[in-house]
Amino acid sequence: MNSQQEFVLSAVEERDIRFIRLWFTDIAGSLKTVMMSPIELEAAFEEGVGFDGSSIEGFTRISESDTLLLPDPSTFQVMPFDLDDPDLQTARMFCDISMPDGNPAYVDPRQVLRRQVTQAAEEGFTCMASPEIEFYVLDESSGIPLPADTGGYFDQANQNVAPKFRRQAMLALEAMGIATEFSHHETAPGQQEIDLRHADVLTMADNVVTFRYLIKNVAHQSGVRATFMPKPFEKFAGSAMHTHVSLFEGDTNAFHDPDDEISLSTTGRQFIAGILEHAHEISAVTNQWVNSYKRLQFGSEAPTAVTWGISNRSALVRVPTYRLHKPESRRVEVRSLDSGANPYLAYAAVFAAGLKGIREGYELGDPAEDDVFALTRRERRAMGYRDLPSSLDEALRHLEKSEFMAEVLGEQVFEFFLRSKWDEWHEYTSQVTEWEIATNLDL
């Protein structure tokens, strides 16, 4: 037993933790949990916790259903909601998933990201990420989900059903060791944003999963509902998960070059070029829902084309110009991701594309200076911009032809992801909508 495991066992005893939640996600990013008694924890560290992997969609076939959860002691945190009730105090740990022979389960989204982190480390890089997570808070007291306030960008919201929501949310996040930078009201009524302080990308993916759980719980306790749906309202902006990414070589930011006009190194430029080159192939993973493309097509400041820009919020990849001469702050912002993505798979795709750009020396073209979103499709094409996929159908067609993404995701995740998302698309397109009835019934 290692020192981290011993620390967890001691903390459980000293803090009188009564329940342990073991967390992992399925391929879509939905949180799964197993509750266990603390008395079983030592055995779980040594042997894992067996479960029926065939019951988790996309994990294993019924003939290979025996699967193990291996708790990661570095992710141990006490849950904040039961601290006032000693009989219910609960802690959680994320788990890696393995097969009975000890080999990692290739269907584990956390393992998909870990492979990219390991490969980056072999090339001398540590992958860092810092997301700005947008979501809506809804009032359902009328029976219809409506924005819970009437605020706009940076407003101290008026008529707020849950006035203390963001403060309570940030306290819950801090209680679980998730450092926040800023929170504010976003552009649309009921829309919020909370920014997380940068961390290594595997920790950050765990943090995003925890963030969603906590936000939904705080909302429930406040009498409202939180949703991470990419575009829940036709007339309001969608919810993004703009993510600032960087690579470090030891303590040195590999993206920083003090002699460059925008302090961006050749490594940083190659990383951006990699994301642009593979943007179509990764889109179905960074934007995995039918609804995701309503945000990309019709959302304010959402990227519509494969571009990069300096301070340009209409570009797919933006290079911020804050604190240009502060080396540790040189990051690039990937703006396509939405708040409904599986963070393990989405971050694996983004970093894999960027690292391939570095590995193969991709060249970066000129930055976009236009408001790309305001351009017509014809204008974008005339300027040489490639449009991003405008539907899940189009994104899946790019994904299924991609040998690069098949390698990033692994064969099992790749095949199941495609199959489940094609099912989602076919279910969506088979519906006869109210618009069709209103428009076509008199034909």
For residue range 311-326, what is the model confidence (pLDDT) as tens digits?
A: 999 999 999 988 777 8
Q: Which of 75, 103, 131 is the last residue of a domain?
A: 103
Same domain (yes/no): 302, 405:
yes
pTM of the predicted structure, to 2 decimals: 0.94
**What is the C-alpha separation between 257 and 330, in angstroms, rounded?**
9
CB contact at 8 A, 217 and 175 = no
Same domain (yes/no): 21, 147:
no
Average pLDDT (359-363) is 98
Read off the CATH number of the domain in which 32 is found. Answer: 3.10.20.70
Same domain (yes/no): 90, 166:
no
Residue-wise pLDDT for 371-406, tens only, equals 898 888 899 989 989 999 999 999 999 999 999 999
Same domain (yes/no): 174, 300:
yes
Same domain (yes/no): 377, 305:
yes
Sign of the C-alpha dihedral, residues 203, 206, 211, 217?
Answer: negative
Q: Kindly tell me the burial class for residue 9, based on how many C-beta atoms sit within 10 Å of its own C-beta (0-12, 13-18, 19 or more).
A: middle
Same domain (yes/no): 79, 142:
no
Asked whether residue 443 is assigned to any structural domain, the reply reads no
Residue-wise pLDDT for 9-43, tens only, equals 999 999 999 999 999 999 999 999 999 999 999 99
Give residue 256's pLDDT band: very low, low, confident or very high (50, 70, 90).
very high
Same domain (yes/no): 25, 168:
no
Same domain (yes/no): 136, 70:
no
Asked whether residue 442 is assigned to any structural domain, the reply reads no
Same domain (yes/no): 345, 268:
yes
Give residue 413's pLDDT band: very low, low, confident or very high (50, 70, 90).
very high
Q: Which of 77, 103, 129 is the last residue of a domain?
A: 103
Residue of 349 and 371 predicted with greater confidence: 349
CB contact at 8 A, 128 and 246 = yes
Sign of the C-alpha dihedral, residues 102, 107, 110, 113?
Answer: positive
Same domain (yes/no): 167, 25:
no
Read off the CATH number of the domain in which 427 is found. Answer: 3.30.590.10
**What is the C-alpha separation between 151 and 50, in angstroms, rounded?**
48
pLDDT of residue 374: 86
Asked whether residue 440 is assigned to any structural domain, the reply reads no
Same domain (yes/no): 99, 122:
no
Helix, strand, coil share of the chain (percent; to 5): 40, 20, 40
Sign of the C-alpha dihedral, residues 52, 58, 61, 62?
Answer: positive
Asked whether residue 133 is assigned to any structural domain, the reply reads yes
C-alpha neighbours within 13 Å on the C-beta side of residue 210: 30
Q: Which of 286, 305, 303, 302 minimizes the C-alpha distance to 365?
A: 305
User: In terms of residue numbers, what domain contains 352?
Assistant: 115-434
